[in-house]
Amino acid sequence: MDFITGQLNNKQKEAVLTGDGPVLVLAGAGSGKTRVLTSRVAHLVMEKGVYPSSILAITFTNKAAREIKGRVGKMMGGDMWFPWIGTFHSMCLKMLRMYPESLGYRKGFVIYDQDDQKILVKDCLKELDLDSKLFPPKMIIHQINRSKDELIDAEKFNKENASDYKLSIAGKVYELYQKRMLENNAMDFGDLIANAVKMLRENENIRMYFQNAFKHILIDEYQDTNTAQYELAYILSEKHGNIFVVGDDDQSIYGWRGANIRNILDFEKDYPGCMVIRLEQNYRSTTNILDAANDVIKNNLGRKGKTLWSDKGTGGKINYYRAATNSMEAYYIASRIQKGIEAGRDYEDYAVLYRVNAQSRSIEQALRDKKIPYRIYGGISFYQRKEIKDVLAYLKLIQNPNDNVQLKRVINEPKRGIGKTTLTRMEEYAIDTGSSIYEVAGDIRIYPNLSKSVEKVSVFVGIIEKLRKSAAEKSVADLYDDVILYSDILKQYKLDNTIISRSRIENIKELKSAIMTKAEEQYESFGEKLTLEVFLESVTLATDADEETEGTHVSIMTLHSAKGLEFPIVFISGMEEGVFPSFQSFSEGRLEEERRLCYVGITRAMEEVYLLNTMQRTLYGRTQSYPESQFLREISPALIEHKSGGGFGRRNVGQSTRDSFGGMRITKGGKPITIAGFTAVPGEAANVKTGQRVRHKKFGDGTVTNTEGSGGDKMIEVSFDIAGTKRLMASFAKLKIVD
């Protein structure tokens, strides 16, 4: 027994050794849940005499399944066969392979991936004579996949959405899609679980077989289960009642992709008489880090309740830094990492987390400038993202129309009906005549075999020519606006209206932030306007630096990607209301999930946490001020240490606020404000009015487009001729009214 439980604490032992019946293990962050799950499996086999084939242990990823199998094998001193340890999808597939005829399928059915789904949905749209532009395949696929997660078949979907025109059309496609799937003897990933549930519900003999077969059911990350996964577990555990689930309601952060937190919150109602065991000892973080995380998460109403603690010592306080801009925030992060490396730290010790992918752009720039190696975890570099490369290809083609590579990338992006055959013929003519593809496109009417494509290609050439004219007359930021307008590159993403497409729209908008930032740097450093050539050159150099580095690196990633990972030092960027928590969380009722995401972020840290925000942030091409995140205000001030080094930080919003490093006090009423040793007064900025022309030392001339408040607290929005739109506080703007 000692070889199984010897390394466990009392609560972990209780979870492993508890008897039969339903068990809910609420495993806090860093509390050793995988150790408990694997020890439980070993205990059942070695001490209780349960056959390995009678244990169904389910997790969410192949990596986690391999880890569980590996740990169990190591604990038991050899390779023992556990046929039913795996992911939800792999276990359901194995069940369906045994009885495909029960659902009308034939043996050897195939599994469709996302690309296969897209092709079939397009075929269904065509068969139903529906326009794929009005009913984007990605939108239809999203509806189908989510419906299957909720165990809503096509018939039920149509009944529930009969009064909604767009959804009723999606229902018709769903119905035909499922018919064709059956004809093709194919299932998609959603079918694997939904069909397994259907098979168990409708066939008593099959249901009894699997209920008898699985004496014990164990489920990892139970807080992430959706309706179909919940129902599967419920049916399979009905006979023996031995369901052992491990999860953390405080780490349920995937509601946007179907996870239902009610599954773990209502476990005691669904399984009366269940035992609840809380794992609250954290083996990862210091006490101050855990206290801060506890301060945040206790504000959620929808939770079971637990308090993490640690014996790893108090540790340092939570570092709080408020910068003036997101660029300064990023450079502060890079500087802290650089100092740590000089003091003997390793790059692998650091992680930079952010709420949305678009935030990575300024962080990447700062790390590159400091020559700090980094890798984007679970994603790709900002400038390497498909949607960003598409917009950059337009800009490069405007700069050099003879660039065949860029032309081939965007001539049909977004879709214009210019097929591969047309492009191949154009390229062949270009080679034969020693010209570029763009030159052939411009004279397309004179080339044989291209007559059917004249109109479509001419439209594309017209767009590029119009943009080349814009480039000669406008700033790079304004040219960007024209590219987005004339290319119509956002249209398909808006029609798709999926999480991925919305993220791509945000990234494309963030590219304008990069242009504006570069324009500011160019004006400040050289006193000249940014040219397209200079911007593209800077991007090319940045892209070259994005090649994967050898050796160690700093990890940068979204907060969602960080779940399950740990690092000695963690930076969380963008702790601002509207960024984190996001605006969508307010409108969509997901504030508690955002707070759980904050809890996840803080508990990734082992030794140090830096929480950062800005006075104003340029995001998605707009510069504006955001209040500090409410999550910051939920942490006890006694746990916070204000950091200095640049930027205007503040703490405790109210009648007066104090800066992060003790040098700044803002008082209501527009009185003088002291900042790190100098006094700022409103000056002329307090008197500016909408429509007036003003001048700023850094941003140049611009027009006031809006004002809010009065005196030193007045917020002024200025559309600068070169730097774009900025929101400035009158006390610090140092604006001069231009006669």
Planar angle of CA 261, 266, 267, nearest 5 degrees: 105
Neighbouring CB atoms inside 10 A of 379's CB total: 15
Catalytic residue of the set 149, 188, 191, 221: 221
Between CA 656 and CA 697 the distance in angstroms is 28
- Give the residue from 686, 682, 684 showing the smallest Cα distance to 739: 684
Angle in degrees, 0-180, between the axes of helices 137-149 and 165-183, rounded to the nearest 10: 80
Between CA 298 and CA 594 the distance in angstroms is 13
CB 666 within 8 A of CB 707: no
One-letter amino acid at 57 equals A
Catalytic residue of the set 38, 143, 251, 558: 251
Locate 558 and state its tokens.
Answer: 């979204």
Between CA 374 and CA 376 the distance in angstroms is 7
Catalytic residue of the set 18, 34, 498, 531: 34
Which residue carries 């950059």 as its tokens?
392
Buried b (16+ CB within 10 A) or exposed e, 284-293: bbbbbbbbbb
Rama region for 417: left / alpha / beta (φ>0; ψ in -120 to 50; rest): left
Which residue carries 């746990």 as its tokens?
639
DSSP state of 244: E
Neighbouring CB atoms inside 10 A of 473's CB total: 8
Residue 33 annotated among the catalytic residues of the structure: yes
- Supply the DSSP string of 495-513, one letter for each residue: HH-SHHHHHHHHHHHHHHH
Neighbouring CB atoms inside 10 A of 273's CB total: 8
- Supply the DSSP string of 106-135, one letter for each residue: -TT-EEE-HHHHHHHHHHHHHHTT--TTTS
- What is the rounded (10 degree) CA torsion for 167, 170, 172, 175? -120
Between CA 248 and CA 251 the distance in angstroms is 5
Angle in degrees, 0-180, between the axes of helices 189-202 and 137-149, rounded to the nearest 10: 30
Between CA 307 and CA 435 the distance in angstroms is 70
Catalytic residue of the set 172, 596, 604, 650: 604
For 719, the 3-state DSSP assignment is strand
Query: Up-side HSE of residue 535: CA atoms within 13 Å toward CB?
Result: 29
- What is the rounded (10 degree) CA torsion for 192, 198, 204, 207? 40
- Give the residue from 665, 387, 365 showing the smallest Cα distance to 515: 365
Between CA 252 and CA 594 the distance in angstroms is 10
Long-range contacts made by residues 298-305, C-beta under 8 angstroms, separation at least 24?
A: 299/595, 299/634, 300/250, 300/592, 300/595, 300/596, 301/592, 302/249, 302/261, 302/265, 302/592, 303/249, 303/250, 303/265, 304/26, 304/249, 304/264, 304/265, 304/276
Catalytic residue of the set 13, 33, 409, 518: 33
Q: What is the CA radius of gyration of the chain?
A: 29
Residue 34 annotated among the catalytic residues of the structure: yes
Between CA 591 and CA 601 the distance in angstroms is 15
For 602, the 3-state DSSP assignment is helix
- Give the residue from 217, 260, 261 showing the smallest Cα distance to 242: 217
Residue 251 annotated among the catalytic residues of the structure: yes
Residue 220 annotated among the catalytic residues of the structure: yes
The H or E element that residue 398 is part of is helix 386-399
Give all strands of the β-sheet with 715-720 in edge-to-edge order. Answer: 724-729, 715-720, 700-708, 693-696, 736-737
Between CA 612 and CA 591 the distance in angstroms is 20
CB 570 within 8 A of CB 601: yes
Catalytic residue of the set 14, 149, 191, 220: 220
The catalytic residues are 33-34, 220-221, 251, 604
